[in-house]
Every structure is written in C-alpha cells, then in structure tokens.
Chains A and B, each alone.
Chain A
Amino acid sequence: MTALAGWVSYPSSCTWTATGPGGTTTVSETLTTTATATPKPTINVTRPSSLVAGQSFTTTWSTTDTTSLTHVCTASGTGYTVNESLAVSGSRALTAQSGWVGYPSSCTWTASGAGGTSTFTETMTTVAGTSSSVTYIHTDGLGSPVARTDSTGAVISRTRYESYGYVASGVQPTIGFTGHVNDVDTGLTYMQQRYYDPVAGRFLSIDPVVTDANSGGSFNRYAYASNSPYKYVDPDGRQERAAEAFSDQYRKDFASGNVRDYDPFVVPAAVVTGAMLIGPPIAAAVIAGAPVEATVAAGGAAAKGAQVAETVAVRTTQAGDKAVRITRADGSVKDISPARVKEYVPNTHPKAPPGTLDKVKFENPLPGSKGYKREPTAEELKV
C-alpha cells in the first residue's frame, strides 16, 4: 500500500473490533502521514581547471531538481565579473585568451529548485601557450633532407651526405638518408625490412628478395641499391627503385614539365642534370612555355653515339595535365595527354610543304573528335 500525498495533514484513527464466543475485543490506533522531503538541486560541471591560452576548452554542465541556474565568474585582481543565467544543462566551447594569464578566476554555479538552493564553486587558471613555429624541410633528388628553413626562408640547418648516406657534415637528422629513419645512437639507417650501415654502404642482413636467376640481380645479398646510390633508392629494404620516383624534387619537376625520364641510360646527361637542378636551360624553356625535349636512343641504349630513334617533348596542358609529344625517326608524331591521343604521319604528297604532317584517323575515335582523337592506352598513360 502506498501512502498518498493527500493524506498529509489528515491524521486518521482506526478501530479494530474482534468478536468471538468469549466476547468482543477492540483496539484503536492513530496514523499520520508526512510529506516526502523535496530533494535539493545538484550541479555537475566538467571543465579543465588549468587552461592554455590560445587553446579551446569545453565546459559541460548538468543539474538535477533545478529550475534555474546562474553562473558567476570573477577574475581576481581585475574586478571583471560575469553573471549570467544558463539553461539547467548544456555545454559550450571557448578559447582561453592570453589576457587571462595571471588572473585566476573563481566561478560559482548556483542551482535553485523546489528543494532549495545548491552552489558549486570552481577555480581556473590560465597558462601561456607555447608559441608554434614552422620548419620547412628540403630534400635532395634522393629524398634525403638536406636543409631546414624557417618561415622567413632563413636556413636553420643543413645536412650533407656522402654517396652511401653517411652524414659528412651538418646536423644528424631524425629522418635521414633517402627519407629513412636515422638511428643517431647506432649510426644505422632503418629501412624497414633491414638496417643499413651508411659507413659500409651495406645492409646488416641479407636481402629478403632472392637473387634473380635470369639477370643475376640481387646476387650480393647485402648490397645497397645495386651499388648505385645516386641512381637508385631502396624504399623498404627489399628492392631498389629508380630514385626519381621517390624524390620531392622529381615530383615538382614532373609537375612543371621539366622531366620525362631520369634514367641516364636513356636520357642524355645534360637533360638529367638540368632537370635535377632546375638549371637555367630547362627553367628558361618552361618559363617560355616551350616543351622540354629529350632525345631518346633506340632500344634504350646509351645516347652517346647511338642512332636517334625519337624525340620526346613534355609540356603542361592548359588543364594542368602532362602531355608528351613523341616524334619518331620516320617523322610520324604521337601526342599523348591523359585525355586523348592524336597521331600524325608525314604528308607524302609530292607538292606538300616539307615537314608537314597529316592527321591520323582512328577506327574507334573519341566522340566529337571527327575521328582524330582516341583514348590513350594504359601503356601510353604510363609514358
């Protein structure tokens, strides 16, 4: 049985009468009902007590049995006071101001309800934030960080490497030779699959990639980058890769149309050097909007003394893509961009102006091209 609120203030009298063969017995009792005590409000506030200038923080609050909530904050030593009414629960994000540093504040939350009033007091201090700075890391063609500059462009430090990665001078970098972690304590370079010793120019353990039975590649199981540390890098300690694909400079040069290929067996050294260093001839050509040309030898043989098979010109399209124009020894031309391929053959008409070309019509052309453009193949896109 539950005592009802309506019973409060109305005492009741009850009489129990029992009748039997021996007579009658009567018992009387008196009952009173008292009201349940109304609970007092409670306050729960979540906020860091120590703030950092410049950093945001979130205050979250909740209450129970509360009908109104006030929040009074006073910053000591300033006379600054905030007095505001808030919802009985909520949250908000603020950023600690640098002007708060040195002025601890005291905040009192007052919750009122039917059960009375409750208060919660907290104190907060604000500390100065650490100033941030930006450091730009510059890499060489192998991806090794060689210089660090600040936001003004001033050089903070430099690192110079020997050919196999030993730090010849300058600071010992954390991220070192060819972008791998440099263990300063041991002097070794962590290349993920294996540790590499830049003093010896050798790995400390054998290559997980077995020797190529056909070419003899990786025959020396400890050798680094096929003993060509300027041409190759080893991204993960297993297999050398052409260095250019892993260098920031290469990506920049490629984006600006400066390079087609760094392979010294394919492209004349002058082109490679100019592209790697962004030397005046290449840079001037790009500024003038002219494509960069490289002469490619037949069959990938060394360019010097070999028969010239084709000329390749790289340019940047108006859409920002790379386009390659390949002129073959027979005078035919293939122009490849990611969007389309166009081909030309020499005009063989006896009265044709010398050197002029006819456009090639394709069987499966791109729509709207009148037959003179087609989709590039996967191989052409690779080029």
Chain B
Amino acid sequence: MSTYSDIEITETEDLGVILHCKDVEVADGLEDFLTERCFVLFNIRPQGATVSFYFGQASSGDKVRQLYERFLVDGKR
C-alpha cells in the first residue's frame, strides 16, 4: 500500500490495483490525465468525497504510482 496526501493505492487479489483519491477535483484531473494523455483504461467509482479508480489485475501498484507521480509533475499543464 502506498500513501500520498490525496491518494491511496491498494492491491487486492480479486480487483487488482485500486487508487482511492480523497479529493474530487484532484480525481477529476487525474481521470482526464489518464484518459487523454496516458490511454489508460480503468473503471471509476465515486463514493462521496472519495473517488476510486479500478485498474484491474493487468496493472501494478508501482505502475499506477508512477502514473500518479507523472500526473503530479505535468498533469496540470
């Protein structure tokens, strides 16, 4: 499990890698970044102020964390 200020990345055997984002606006930007600039497929699940991104078993926590770090660096450009 990896923890940042806004997100938490978990892995489960059934669902694979899940990124939980606790800020709706950050999640909105991350969703756009992943879709428009990284061509990453995922399912999304909003739950109140938390938005979860389901990447499935074809991904890894490290890979998702790297994507998130890329988003932090240049995702808002």
Report B77 CB to chain A, min CB distance, Å: 13
In Å, the complex CA distance between A293 and B24 comes to: 13
Interface majority SS (helix, strand, loop, mixed), chain B: mixed
Q: Taking the complex as formed, is A153 at the interface, i.e. its CB lies under 8 A from any CB of chain B?
A: no
Q: Which of A228-273 contact B (CB under 8 A)?
A: none
Contact between B36 and A369, CB atoms less than 8 A apart: yes
A318-B29, A353-B54, A372-B35 are known contacts. Are A325 and B46 too (CB-CB below 8 A)?
A: yes
In Å, the complex CA distance between A353 and B24 comes to: 20
Contact between B23 and A359, CB atoms less than 8 A apart: no
In Å, the complex CA distance between A288 and B45 comes to: 20
Q: How many residues of A are in contact with the other chain, CB < 8 A?
A: 29
Q: Which residue of B lies closest to A337 (CB)?
A: B28
In Å, the complex CA distance between A373 and B36 comes to: 10
Q: Taking the complex as formed, is A335 at the interface, i.e. its CB lies under 8 A from any CB of chain B?
A: yes
Q: Which residue of A lies closest to B12 (CB)?
A: A353
Interface majority SS (helix, strand, loop, mixed), chain A: loop
Contact between B49 and A289, CB atoms less than 8 A apart: yes
From B36, B45, B48, contact of A353 by CB (8 A): B45
From B15, B24, B44, B45, contact of A291 by CB (8 A): B24
In Å, the complex CA distance between A237 and B35 comes to: 52
Contact between A359 and B35, CB atoms less than 8 A apart: yes
Contact between A291 and B49, CB atoms less than 8 A apart: yes
Report A326 CB to chain B, min CB distance, Å: 11
Across-interface contacts of B25 in A (CB, < 8 A): 289, 315-318
Across-interface contacts of A327 in B (CB, < 8 A): 46
Q: Taking the complex as formed, is A278 at the interface, i.e. its CB lies under 8 A from any CB of chain B?
A: no
In Å, the complex CA distance between A291 and B22 comes to: 11
A 64-93 binary contact with B (CB < 8 Å = 1; else 0): 000000000000000000000000000000
In Å, the complex CA distance between A316 and B35 comes to: 22
Contact between A370 and B36, CB atoms less than 8 A apart: yes
A 304-335 binary contact with B (CB < 8 Å = 1; else 0): 00000000010111100001010100000101
- Listed in ascending order, the chain B residues whose CB lies under 8 Å from chain A are 15, 23-25, 28-29, 32, 35-36, 39, 43-49, 52, 54
8 additional A-B residue pairs with CB within 8 Å, beyond A356-B43, A356-B44, A370-B35: A289-B23, A290-B48, A333-B46, A355-B47, A356-B54, A359-B35, A368-B36, A373-B32
- Listed in ascending order, the chain A residues whose CB lies under 8 Å from chain B are 288-291, 293, 313, 315-318, 323, 325, 327, 333, 335, 344, 347, 352-353, 355-359, 368-370, 372-373
Pairs A-B, 6 closest by C-beta atoms? A290-B49, A356-B43, A356-B45, A355-B45, A357-B44, A353-B15
